[in-house]
Amino acid sequence: MEKDKYVAYVSTYTQGDKNGIKIYDVDMEKGRFIEKDKVEITNSSYVTISHNAKYLYSITDFGVESYRILKDGSLEFINFASNNGMRGCYLATDYTDRYLFVAGYHDGKLTVLKLAEDGSVGDITDEIYHKGLGIIAERNSRPHINCARMTHDNRYLLVADQGMDHVKVYRFDPTLGKVALADIVHSELDANPRHIKISRDGRYIYIVNEFKCSIDVFSYEEKSGQPIFEKLQTVSTCEQEMGSFNAASALTFSDDHKYLLSSNAGANSVVLYEVDEATGHLREIFELPVGGEYPKDASLFPNNKFLVSLNHESNSMTFFHVNVEQGTMIMNGPPIKVDVPNCITFHKL
């Protein structure tokens, strides 16, 4: 039986290096990466793969770029499209791969772009600037959109606004590519909602809060044409010690959705939870150090036996053996150097 083969795409800022996306062959037996290729693109803040797994989209300066994923995992450039604003920090497609949503941290702007069947990015169909004043003057005096992703039924777009401490819920019109505000899910004061993930069956929503170092779990359903969210649980991502400053980073599901992963700057740790798929609840398995500074993203390998951490400030990726049953994580070989990495996504060939 032939074993599944994977590549990993790592997005990076380009400070002196013009190749913003690095492509690695994944050694699933040894839990390591072998550099395969790199793509010339400026400041790839975030990458996402379409739901049909044919295309990769990346943030770049002043817009987005689309790529065809070739048979060996290499990327072939399709086109660039402007987002008519400052550089975005996050992007995701809807579940039909007909639209692309771009979150703007710097300008508090949500942009919706049309996608063609060949994977190319077309015109902007909607753009919304979040408005208002937050609580904390230095950082939260204005909107900062950090994430935008669809509910699995493709009806609502969830948009995390770190600056305003809430997630705006937009009703999505797939015919026109327009959004209209339907609800607001409020976070705790100065929680800073950063990333959103959704359970495999679409019933549970997970929101990681950067400053509160916590994950809020909500149930989601639509009743009489209205989205209904109910908070079920809040879990901590790290021990908060007096005088220390920690900030929770990205949120990633394991390939099988049985585990959820987050990471913490300051504490420089990764935290792994077991997901109860029936109730949506999270149970912490471990929180352990990553051997690098500011783990901006981390991911389990698709076999759940290894883990990689992207250490943004120490310009490295660190690798670990993971034993979920025993709750252990052990360093697996030396770090791999990669300048200012932002996010990672695995792709099955």
DSSP state string for 33-90: EEEEEEE-BS----EEE-TTSSEEEEEETTEEEEEEE-TTS-EEEEEEEE-SSSPPSE
Residue 152 lies in a domain: yes
**Is 141 inside a domain boundary?**
yes
CA-based nearest residue to 291, from 270, 272, 276, 306 = 270
- Tell whether the model's pLDDT for residue 243 goes beyond 70: no
Q: Does any domain span residue 220?
A: yes
9-18, 286-295, 316-325: the lowest-pLDDT one = 9-18
> Contact 197/158 with Cβ under 8 angstroms?
no
Is residue 20 in some structural domain? no
pTM tops 0.75, yes or no = yes
19-28, 133-142, 268-277, 337-346: range with lowest mean pLDDT: 133-142
What is the count of structural domains for the chain?
A: 1
137 domain-assigned: yes
Quickly state the pLDDT bin for 188 (edges 50, 70, 90).
Answer: confident
Q: What's the pLDDT at 292?
A: 93
Task: Say yes or no to pLDDT of 242 above 80.
Answer: no
Residue 108's domain comprises: 45-236
CATH number of the domain to which 119 belongs: 2.130.10.10
> What three-state secondary structure class fits 138?
helix
What end-to-end distance do the CA atoms of the chain give, in Å?
15
Q: When comparing pLDDT for 240 and 235, which is higher?
A: 235
Q: Is residue 245 part of a domain?
A: no
Q: Is residue 153 part of a domain?
A: yes
The reply to whether 151 falls in a domain is yes
3-state secondary structure 271-290: EEEEECCCCCCEEEEEEEEC
Alpha-carbon distance of 249 to 239, in angstroms, equals 15
> What is the pLDDT at residue 136?
54
Q: What is the mean pLDDT of the chain?
A: 92
Task: Give the span between the Cα atoms of 113 and 135, in whole angstroms.
Answer: 31
Query: What's the pLDDT tens digit per position in 27-43?
Result: 999 999 999 999 999 99
φ/ψ of 138, rounded to 5, equals -65, -45
Q: Does residue 283 register a pLDDT over 90?
A: yes
Whether 79 has a pLDDT exceeding 90, the answer reads yes
Mean pLDDT of 94-117: 93
Q: Helix or strand or coil: residue 105?
A: coil
Instruction: Please compute Rg for the chain using Cα positions.
Output: 19
